[in-house]
Structure 1
Amino acid sequence: MSRSGIRFDHVSVAYGGNTVLDGLDLTVEPGEVMALLGPSGSGKTTALRAVAGFVRPASGRVFIGDRDVTALPPHQRGIGMVVQQYALFPHLRVEDNVAFGLKAQKAPKSEIPGRVAEALEMTGMAAYAERYPRELSGGQQQRVAIARALAIRPNVLLLDEPLSALDAQLRSGMLAELARLHRELPDVSILYVTHDQVEALTLADRIAVMDKARLQDCGTPQELYRRPRTEFTASFVGNANLLPVTVGSGTVSFAGTQLKVPTAEAVPGATATLCVRPHLVGLGDGPNALRGRIAEVQWRGATHRLYVDVDGHRLKADLRELRETPSLGDEVTVHFAPEDGVLLAAGVNDG
């Protein structure tokens, strides 16, 4: 299996004058897992379908490896694809479903049984080869769909919301299986469409954040989580407290309180947004202390989520092992370390 990646060269897609993908420039490196993360209508599925050949760009080009595939039909692109609803043929046994793509590609008949067995073994479904889809669970059906995509030995694998129809426990197990498959197939480039931040953070080497038909941000999961560049990225990749502040020299002003945060790239006197992740907010005295009242308490098993009203702004704090849970209306102090604050957007230079 040769290595090849995906490249979007200023790709736009429009339906009836409505632009659904606007000037996408993005490269998926050979062997990389790239997650397209965004809300419904953000353009992420359209981007995937442009690679698959199911939509034709209004402008721009799509490359798989060094080959311009913009005008090629789907069956000539050498890709595997897995969709949300599995799309298995109910009248065919598992082994015949997996063999379907090989037969469509006119693979030598002598090779098909071995390729089918290999794909089923890889996905843990070898013992179910003679069953029909109706005799399988949702997770098992999704494994068969993945096996069918892998049987053709694609250089590029497209996954469109592949786990969204599964319950939480099955989804967690399938995430682990997909991670294992990626380790076993290091030459396959994977484009993974999802609106679920946990899936993107768990699987992806890099995440492309989409919104309103455009690419908003792109980076490793750690980069986007720890140092987001925009309010949208901060709120969509993990939970975030987004506080309006005025920039000073080494400090920012919020609700009449001076807070120490890194301001090296900020313009003194400018307005900006301060991002602080809820799990980095502590209860009690400490650096960057803020006084407020408990507006809501949510028990989440391993943590308590506190909502603290600070001068009309609701601050979230995720805390473990609280010996005594505050009550609604209690006055409390919360704090966070200076290095855990990140200034975003307004008043911050992008370059």
Structure 2
Amino acid sequence: MTSGIRFENVSVAYGRSVVLDSLDLTVEPGEVMALLGPSGSGKTTALRAVAGFVQPVSGRVFIGDRDVTGLPPHRRGIGMVVQQYALFPHMRVEENVAFGLRAQKAPKRGIPARVAEALEMTGMAAYARRYPRELSGGQQQRVAIARALAIRPGVLLLDEPLSALDAQLRSGMLAELARLHRELPDVSILYVTHDQVEALTLADRIAVMDRARLRDCGTPQELYRRPRTEFTASFVGNANLLPVTVGSGSVSFAGADLKVPTAEVPPGASATLCVRPHLIGLGDGPNALRGTIAEIQWRGSTHRLYVDVDGHRLKADVRELRETPALGAEVTVHFAPEDAVLLAAGVSDA
């Protein structure tokens, strides 16, 4: 079953509080779309509007070509996985996975095969007779995913499905979800998360949400390498955001003229320069800036240097330091012109 998702000017409000404001967004058939944003940004509300758990005050929600805005959840043909798994503790794994099929009144003869297929797909076939209390957190999450897949949905909704797992389990489940996506290329997935690593790892596109509105949307590479807004730059990956004045082919910052692409911003305008920490080098080079070491953090494969430059703190992720500079030491940092992105003032919405 192939289905996409389409939001047409969807708003949701609780009393006078607007929690989702005029969302226009399309998830293509077979696409993984991550809704990324801080708490209260509207991302979970958008997912619940697709599921049918909240009713928009305006706009329409489509699954495929069907307007499902007024349909109850059980008639939408979706699979859903939530943060806390929501498994029935008194049911064995196979009974939990079969629950959605029975709720849909699927033919009884076909249910065991569908359950076995879903458990095999999620690597849980050997645990069919166990109860949820006999499983680890990661295994319970696999069962929840198997239950969602058993109904063979055209749309799979994932609401922060890995947030209750520790870092090691989360990494393993990310790999499993990526594998499932490859094996189910026709299923559209809407994935809600506040974790940028999950979004960058899994999504074909990321919709960045903030304060009930869609702020930006694009592929992970587009949003990371060429963000359109300061919010996107700071929320998708880590970023140095430097206030600059635009010249002709350069910008002025901390008394230095920095060569960066300026074609989209007129000379004389104020703007923000975005440079990722891993693209800033230590020592002489193009676009050199002098500063003092304010803090050093060892992060295993890199050192995170915090460098004060004219009252602004720059972050630089530097590999293989032969000699770690002392706090307060004067250093030079630099970055290549092509590694900087100039963000025009006042650009805030997608």
Once residues 92 and 253 of structure 2 are traced to their aligned partners in structure 1, the CA distance between those partners, rounded to angstroms, is: 63
Name 1:53's counterpart in structure 2: 52
Name 1:135's counterpart in structure 2: 134
Name stretches of at least 5 consecutive residues in structure 1 with no aligned partner. none
Q: SS in structure 1 opposite 2:169? A: helix
Once residues 165 and 350 of structure 1 are traced to their aligned partners in structure 2, the CA distance between those partners, rounded to angstroms, is: 31
Contact 1:41 1:213 in 2 (8 A): yes
| Cα separation, partners in 2 of 1:56 and 1:107, compared to 1, 3 Å | same
Q: How much identity, in percent, do the aligned residues show?
A: 89
Once residues 304 and 348 of structure 1 are traced to their aligned partners in structure 2, the CA distance between those partners, rounded to angstroms, is: 33
Once residues 349 and 24 of structure 1 are traced to their aligned partners in structure 2, the CA distance between those partners, rounded to angstroms, is: 15
Name 1:162's counterpart in structure 2: 161
Once residues 85 and 213 of structure 1 are traced to their aligned partners in structure 2, the CA distance between those partners, rounded to angstroms, is: 24
RMSD of Structure 2 on Structure 1 (CA): 1.2
Give the counterpart letter for 1:225 in structure 2.
Y
Name 2:204's counterpart in structure 1: 205
1:60 Cα deviation from its structure 2 partner = 0.1
Give the counterpart letter for 1:87 in structure 2.
A
1:349 Cα deviation from its structure 2 partner = 12
Structure 1 residue ranges (4+ consecutive) displaced by more than 6 angstroms after TM superposition: 347-351
Name 1:284's counterpart in structure 2: 283
Q: Deviations over 1:67-115 (max 9, x none)?
A: 0000000000000000000000000000000000000000000000000
Once residues 76 and 348 of structure 2 are traced to their aligned partners in structure 1, the CA distance between those partners, rounded to angstroms, is: 41
Name 1:109's counterpart in structure 2: 108
Contact 2:270 2:344 in 1 (8 A): no
Give the counterpart letter for 2:60 in structure 1.
R
Once residues 279 and 89 of structure 1 are traced to their aligned partners in structure 2, the CA distance between those partners, rounded to angstroms, is: 46
| Cα separation, partners in 2 of 1:348 and 1:217, compared to 1, 3 Å | closer
Name stretches of at least 5 consecutive residues in structure 2 with no aligned partner. none
Name 1:173's counterpart in structure 2: 172
TM-score, with length taken from structure 1: 0.99
1:345 Cα deviation from its structure 2 partner = 2.9
| Cα separation, partners in 2 of 1:349 and 1:239, compared to 1, 3 Å | closer
Once residues 89 and 344 of structure 1 are traced to their aligned partners in structure 2, the CA distance between those partners, rounded to angstroms, is: 49
Once residues 68 and 139 of structure 2 are traced to their aligned partners in structure 1, the CA distance between those partners, rounded to angstroms, is: 32
Name 2:72's counterpart in structure 1: 73
| Cα separation, partners in 2 of 1:63 and 1:349, compared to 1, 3 Å | closer
Contact 2:243 2:270 in 1 (8 A): yes
Once residues 349 and 127 of structure 2 are traced to their aligned partners in structure 1, the CA distance between those partners, rounded to angstroms, is: 53
Name 1:308's counterpart in structure 2: 307
Q: Deviations over 1:144-168 (max 9, x none)?
A: 0000000000000000000000000
Q: Deviations over 1:252-288 (max 9, x none)?
A: 0001100000001111000000000000000000000
User: What is the aligned length?
Assistant: 350
TM-score, with length taken from structure 2: 0.99
**Is 2:332 the counterpart of 1:326?**
no
| Cα separation, partners in 2 of 1:103 and 1:347, compared to 1, 3 Å | closer
Q: SS in structure 1 opposite 2:97? A: helix
Q: Deviations over 1:112-150 (max 9, x none)?
A: 000000000000000000000000000000000000000
